[in-house]
Amino acid sequence: MEDFLEQLAESDVREPPPDFNRRLHQRVNRTLVVQQIVDFLVGAIVWSAAHFFRATFAWLLFTVTGRFPDRDRR
Amino acid sequence: MALDLVHCTDEQLAAEAARESSDGPAFVALVERFRARVWRICFRLLDNEQDAADAAQEVFLRLFLHRTRFAGRSKYATWVHAIAVKTCLAMRRSRGRRRRHENIGSEDQWEARQPARPSVPQGLSMDLLEMLETLDEEDRALLLLKYAEGYEYEELAGIFEISVSACKMRISRAREKLQSRFPES
């Protein structure tokens, strides 16, 4: 069995395809673009949530109670 | 000071690649260093040129995405080879699942639909490859890396994250399984 398995080492392994590096570079770049878009969108969601927090809160409050929060203070 | 990409160690290159924001010179140098070895692992484990090319690219993509995660607990080469083996095993499992899923018709129809095996390595009998197919995926990979690629037990233990004695035991048991299933070989 040992000798039989040694036959595995005698078999040839083909060379990698010639355009391997180019395709890898394209794939890495595509992944980077997707990653940056996702990062941007996640950042944008957090930023807009923080930026429009008061407006969103007022809208929710109006939806639930029918009153604007600022109107009571005036 | 610029790093000498030719003479520095794998670990130094990996640290430099981790600082790069894209596939810069250090990462490209790592790909050049490991391309042949990763390709050989993928080709041996998947015995198909197209799948090997996909798997090898997937390996380098993972290396790129996880380039900051190398903790230095093992040699960088061992880490790379372990990623290559895991990627190939995952691909083989998904290929097996896909085939089983597609295998709705009879076995004969399914066999007839299969293209001829594209790349049986030259000089290797189909019998031996078919015998190895009867083992479970990890045992098959262990035997291929040990006997086809000449890895030492210590390297295999690092790649498969087991002890050296467990590695020897698994290889010995896999050989015994083959012996009991194919006593005439």
Q: Six-digit token pair at A49?
A: 């949530």
ipTM of this predicted complex?
A: 0.72
Residue B118 confidence (pLDDT): 47
Question: Which B residues 133-152 touch A at CB under 8 Å?
Answer: 143-144, 147-150
CATH number, domain with residue B176: 1.10.10.10
Q: How many domains does chain B have?
A: 2
pLDDT tens-digit readout, B154-181? 999 999 999 999 999 999 999 999 889 8
Residue A71 confidence (pLDDT): 57
Stretch (H or E) spanning B37:
helix B25-46
Q: Please count the residues of chain B.
A: 185
CATH number, domain with residue B23: 1.10.1740.10
Rg (CA), chain A: 30
Instruction: Say if residue B141 is exposed, middle or buried (CB neighbours under 10 Å; 0-12, 13-18, 19+).
Output: buried
B108: pLDDT confidence band, cut at 50, 70 and 90?
Answer: low
Classify the C-alpha dihedral B148-B151-B153-B159 as positive or negative. negative
Considering the domain architecture, whether residues B78 and B21 belong to the same structural domain is answered as yes
Considering the domain architecture, whether residues B60 and B112 belong to the same structural domain is answered as yes
Residue where a domain terminates, one of B91, B117, B143: B117
Residue B48 confidence (pLDDT): 86
Question: Which B residues 20-59 touch A at CB under 8 Å?
Answer: 22-23, 28, 31, 35-36, 39-40, 43-44, 49, 52-53, 56-57
pLDDT tens-digit readout, B22-75? 888 999 999 999 999 999 999 999 988 999 999 999 999 999 999 889 988 889
For the segment A24-38, the average pLDDT, to the nearest whole number, is 93
> What number of C-beta contacts closer than 8 Å exist between A and B?
79
Q: Six-digit token pair at B114?
A: 């299969």
A55: pLDDT confidence band, cut at 50, 70 and 90?
Answer: confident
| Total-model pTM | 0.77
Residue B1 confidence (pLDDT): 55
Domain that holds residue B65: 1-117
Considering the domain architecture, whether residues B55 and B130 belong to the same structural domain is answered as no
Residue B152 DSSP symbol: -
